[in-house]
Amino acid sequence: MANTIIGIAEMALAHSPDSLTTLGLGSCVGIALYDRTKRLGGLSHILLPKAPENGNGFHRPKYADTAISELVERMTGAGANRSTITAKLAGGAQMFVSEAVGDVLQVGRRNVEMCREVLTKMRIAIIGEDIGGSSGRTIVFECETGLLKVQTAWPVTNKTL
């Protein structure tokens, strides 16, 4: 069983029994997509909500509005059935706490909103979430079972979605 580590603004696919891990989700969102019929999973570590409007050659996995479609394309290219893909989200924390925090610093909330918007448009059901708060997270996505294990940094908690 192999475990692939996904860095910031990266994505990867894995088949059962392998797993995918990403560390240090603060305001970033980890999105796990899963086709239970193929036991094929994809994980993306999304940094920002929206790609530059007139940007050429930008890095698609970096942005929620482009990373999700890219991950779905990669999964269907690897044999996933588009109609059986489901999603789980983790992260989107508010890392900068201040009464004067404007929308520009609420990257976590905006990342989550964009992920939800894109998944709704693509008709992909979100079947689990561990989002918000002010703590960083590490996630492990098991392609054998489709379970997403979430550990928060402080206070230390462990959840399984």
Domain ranges of the chain: 3-160
Check the CA dihedral 20-55-136-130 and report its sign: negative
CATH 3.30.1950.10 at 3-160, yes or no: no
Give the separation between CA 146 and CA 144, rounded to whole angstroms.
Answer: 6
What's the pLDDT at 34?
98
What's the pLDDT at 96?
66
The CA dihedral of 153, 148, 78, 124, to the nearest 10 degrees, is -110
User: 80-115 burial by CB neighbour count: b if 16+ within 10 A, else e?
Assistant: beeeebbbbbbbbbbbeeeeeeeeebbbbbbbbebb
Question: What's the pTM?
Answer: 0.92
Locate 154 and state its tokens.
Answer: 């402080």
Give the separation between CA 43 and CA 2, rounded to whole angstroms.
Answer: 14
What's the pLDDT at 106?
85
Degrees, nearest 5: CA angle 8-10-11: 135
Give the separation between CA 113 and CA 101, rounded to whole angstroms.
Answer: 18
What's the pLDDT at 141?
98
pLDDT along the chain (161 residues), means of 10: 96 98 95 97 97 81 96 98 97 73 73 98 98 94 98 91 95
